[in-house]
């Protein structure tokens, strides 16, 4: 008798959840990405008990059509890509159609949504399947609540660290996303108290002030560079401000925050000897490029990326930082003899 069988979709989703939803902050990230993709201009996040008890994200995006509701929590169900050509042209934050399926497999979900073309709905999902359905509020946008995260995956529950650590990670994610989307107003409430709010007026320096404080923002120097392949923009903060780890170097590709050791090293190198040893700068850099030269499909969380022109990009970033600091006459210009 044959021994190989295809796993039940419920188990498939639980396995996938292990990769996409590691902890509360990964749920927050996925939900915010969906709000951004829906064109939201205001995103309000609230968490209780660091998100383990409840995570709620309310947006004023385009909403979801009632007809699509049964499919939402199916794996590989997405409205964002339609063919493999699209996969190499990714402009949206999401595309894998995995987040909601994964979240739905390990938590209880309530979704209230309304789209321009359909009636408002309010749905309760249990294991990704609609368990209750009632009319929703008439307001275009989406309001999604995740409760009892990991209630059915005890091993994962144990892995989640102290509530304080988890709350810190949620704050970190929201800060990064707000820095990459100055035109969106983000609010974060932790156990009912407002912890963070960005103005959403499209001014990155204002967001830097909202997040790192006005004194840091005052010392922020704009950077910009353009080559046929890349357009780099953002701010680097003058070396009077230092931090004891690299986490304050915010990198994004096409407004998607990424982690990349080599690129943050290029920024540090750009400061040359202006940074004391073991100290790191504060920087917010976005790198626009043709989606064809960046592969975001390396890891489910999409924070790791690969570039086909990595060397060029690293050199450009370092040079851009250096030039911005030179303009501030912090680095002597040997050729010009300044
Ligand atoms: P992906 O983002 O990769 O498409 P998800 O599982 O995160 O996959 O979401 C599935 C689909 O649900 C999305 O493609 C989108 O159509 C819809 N969706 C999810 N969240 C929202 C939201 N906040 N506003 C509008 N549509 C949403
Ligand atoms: Mg998504």
- SS3 track for the chain: CCCCCCCCHHHHHHHHHHHHCCCHHHHHHHHHHHHHHCCCCEEEEEEEHHHCCEEEEEECCCCCCHHHHHHCCCCCCCCCCCCHHHHCCCCCCCCCCCHHHHHHHHCEEEEEEECCCCCCEEEEEECCEEEEEEECCCCCEEEEEEECCCCCCHHHHHHCCCHHHHHHHHHHHHHHHHHHCCCCEEEEEECCEEEEECCCCCCHHHHHHHHHCHHHHHCEEEEEEECCCEEEEEEEECCCCCECCHHHEEEEECCEEECCHHHHHHHHHHCCCCCCCCCECCEEEEEEECHHHEECCCCCCCCCCEECCHHHHHHHHHHHHHHHHHHCCCCCCCCCCC
In a domain, 321, yes or no: yes
Q: Tell whether 133 is covered by a domain.
A: yes
Q: How far is the CA of 97 from the centre of ligand 1 (A)?
A: 7
Ligand 1 centre and the CA of 223: distance in Å? 33
Residues 223, 248, single domain; the answer is yes
Residue 294 covered by a domain: yes
What are 92-108's pLDDT values in tens digits?
A: 787 777 889 889 989 99
- Atom index in ligand 1 nearest the CA of residue 103 equals 6
Model confidence at 242, pLDDT cuts 50, 70, 90, reads very high
Cα angle 214-219-223, degrees, rounded to a multiple of 5: 120
Mean of pLDDT values over 297-319? 85
Q: Which of 13, 16, 28, 37 most suits a substitution to test ligand 1, by most atoms within 8 Å of the C-beta? A: 37
Q: How many structural domains are present in the chain? A: 2
Q: Which of 197, 229, 245 is the last residue of a domain?
A: 197
- Give me the pLDDT at residue 300, please: 64
| Same-domain pairing of 306 and 271 | yes
113 with 232, same domain: the answer is no
Is 246 a domain residue? yes
Q: Are residues 179 and 58 in the same domain?
A: yes
- Any domain includes 336: no
The pLDDT of residue 144: 97
pLDDT (average), residues 65-92: 75
Output the CA–CA distances (angstroms, integers) from residue 258 to 90, 123, 303, 306, 308, in the order listed: 15, 33, 4, 10, 16
At residue 337, does pLDDT exceed 50?
A: no
Strand pairing class (220-226; 230-237): antiparallel
Q: From atom 19 of ligand 1, which residue's Cα is the shortest distance away?
A: 34
Ligand 2 centroid, distance to 110 Cα (angstroms):
16
- Domain final residue, candidates 135, 168, 197: 197
CA distance 180 to 284: 8
Are 42 and 185 contained in the same domain? Answer: yes
Domain boundary among 172, 197, 222: 197
**Tokens read off for 266:** 């290029």
Residue 4 lies in a domain: no
220, 180: one domain: no
How far away, in angstroms, is 20 Cα from ligand 1 center?
14
Residue 248 has pLDDT above 90, yes or no: yes
Task: Tell me the CA–centroid distance for residue 297 and ligand 2, in Å.
Answer: 13
Q: Relative to the CA of 115, which ligand 1 atom is closest?
A: 25
The CATH number assigned to the domain holding 17 equals 3.30.565.10
Rounded CA gap, 223 and 7, in Å? Answer: 51
Residue 3 lies in a domain: no
Atom number, ligand 1, closest to the C-alpha of residue 57:
23
Residue 242 shares a structural domain with residue 164: no
Give the CATH number of the domain where residue 293 resides. 3.30.230.10
Q: Which ligand has the nearest atom to the CA of 95? A: 1
By the CB criterion, residues less than 5 angstroms from ion ligand 2 are 34, 94, 99
Q: Are residues 19 and 161 in the same domain?
A: yes
Q: What does pTM read for this prediction?
A: 0.90
Decide: 199 and 205 in contact? Cβ < 8 Å. Answer: no
Of 17-31, 141-155, 210-224, the poorest mean pLDDT is in 17-31
Choice among 125-134, 184-193, 215-224 with the minimum mean pLDDT: 125-134
Do residues 187 and 220 both lie within one domain? Answer: no
pLDDT tens, 162-180?
888 999 999 999 999 999 9
Q: Is residue 202 part of a domain?
A: no
Planar angle of CA 184, 186, 187, nearest 5 degrees: 160
Which range has the worst mean pLDDT, 83-92, 212-221, 278-287?
83-92
Q: How far is the CA of 100 from the centre of ligand 2 (A)?
A: 7
The residue whose C-alpha atom lies closest to atom 7 belonging to ligand 1 is: 99
Q: Are residues 153 and 31 in the same domain?
A: yes
Residue 237 pLDDT > 50, yes or no?
yes
Shared domain check, 217 and 193: no
Q: Separation of 194 CA from ligand 2 center, angstroms?
A: 25
Which residues touch 130 (CB under 8 Å, ≥6 apart)?
A: 69, 70, 123, 124
CB burial class (10 A; 0-12, 13-18, 19+) of residue 124? middle
Q: Is 178 found in the same domain as 124?
A: yes
Q: How far is the CA of 34 from the centre of ligand 1 (A)?
A: 5
Ligand 1 pocket, residues with Cβ under 6 angstroms = 30, 34-35, 38, 59, 61-64, 72, 77-80, 94-101, 142
Beta-bridge mates of residue 90: none
**What is the extent of the structural domain holding 249?**
213-327
Q: Which of 100, 111, 118 to mutate to test the pocket of ligand 1 (most atoms within 8 A of CB)?
A: 100
């Amino acid at each position: 008798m044959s021994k190989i069988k295809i796993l039940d979709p419920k188990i498939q989703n639980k396995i996938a959840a292990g990769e996409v939803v590691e902890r509360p902050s990964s749920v927050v990230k996925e939900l915010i990405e969906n709000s951004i993709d829906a064109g939201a201009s205001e995103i309000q996040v609230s968490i209780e008990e660091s998100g383990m008890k409840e995570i709620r994200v309310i947006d004023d995006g385009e909403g979801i059509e009632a007809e699509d509701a049964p499919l939402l929590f199916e794996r590989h169900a997405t409205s964002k890509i339609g063919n493999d050509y699209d996969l190499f042209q990714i402009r949206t934050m999401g595309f894998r159609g995995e987040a909601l399926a994964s979240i739905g497999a390990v938590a209880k979900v309530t979704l209230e949504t309304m789209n321009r073309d359909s009636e408002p709905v309010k749905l309760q999902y249990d294991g990704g399947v609609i368990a209750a359905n009632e009319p929703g509020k008439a307001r275009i946008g989406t309001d999604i609540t995740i409760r009892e995260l990991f209630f059915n995956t005890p091993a994962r529950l144990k892995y989640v660290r102290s509530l304080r650590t988890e709350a810190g990670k949620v704050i970190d994610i929201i800060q990064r996303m707000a820095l990459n989307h100055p035109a969106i107003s983000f609010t974060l409430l932790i156990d009912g108290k407002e912890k963070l709010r960005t103005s959403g007026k499209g001014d990155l320096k204002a967001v830097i002030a909202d997040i790192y404080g006005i004194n840091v923002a005052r010392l922020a120097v704009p950077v910009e560079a353009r080559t046929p392949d890349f357009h780099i923009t953002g701010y680097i903060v003058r070396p009077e401000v230092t931090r004891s780890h690299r986490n304050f170097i915010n990198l994004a590709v096409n407004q998607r925050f990424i982690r990349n050791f080599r690129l943050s090293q290029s920024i540090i190198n750009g400061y040359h000897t202006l940074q004391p040893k073991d100290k790191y700068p504060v920087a917010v850099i976005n790198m626009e490029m043709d989606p064809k030269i960046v592969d975001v499909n390396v890891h489910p969380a999409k924070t790791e990326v690969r570039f086909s022109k990595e060397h060029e990009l690293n050199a450009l970033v370092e040079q851009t930082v250096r030039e911005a600091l030179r303009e501030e006459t912090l680095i002597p210009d040997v050729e010009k003899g300044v």
